[in-house]
Amino acid sequence: MGDAYFADEATLSLETSAGTTVDIAGLQDLTVIPSVAIERLYTGDSIKIDAQKQHEFEVQVEIGFSKWDLSLVEEWLGGPGTTSTSMSDTNDPQKYTATGEFTSVDGGTTYQWEITGITFEEMPILDFSRGEFIQWDLSGTGEDLTDLSEVV
């Protein structure tokens, strides 16, 4: 039988292609969805699937958080290996690696995970209401899920 997990035990950090790590605190929401496109072959003499192949693997990453470091935005604006206070004129997007872990309610099982090559098409800078805590939402696409394993 499986274990129950409580979201307060999740952690998240983003690492840039230059090796700078930004811890994401006040993590409210996290969704990681690996997906592939699947092509199916049908033949003229049967209504059933004859063969299937998968391609175009990607990992959708959705993050909602309340505390963060401005360097996350400065690195996104600067592009790979740099920081900036305004958008740099580069075709190469800043890539991030997301890592984290989550633990079962009884503390007996911990899993670690890592997603590499994450790019964010948009970066929240100002999105708030007067008298409210500010929550940012990031939505990106990763190139690979490189680790999902139990910590021993």
The conformation of residue 8, written as its DSSP 8-state character, comes to: G
Q: Are 105 and 96 in contact (CB under 8 A)?
A: no
Print the domain residue range for 95.
7-150
Asked whether residue 1 is assigned to any structural domain, the reply reads no
Q: Which residues contact 145 (CB under 8 A, 6 or more apart)?
A: 32, 34, 59, 113, 114, 115
| DSSP code of residue 70 | T
Q: What is the pLDDT of residues 63-83, one digit of tens each?
A: 988 887 788 888 899 988 888
Nearest to 121 by CA among 145, 96, 104: 96
Number of H helices, E strands in the chain: 1, 7
Specify if 34 maps to a domain.
yes
The tens digit of pLDDT for each residue in 49-64 reads 999 999 999 999 999 8
Which tens digits make up the pLDDT trace of 13-37? 788 877 888 887 777 888 999 999 9
Structural domain tally of the chain?
A: 1
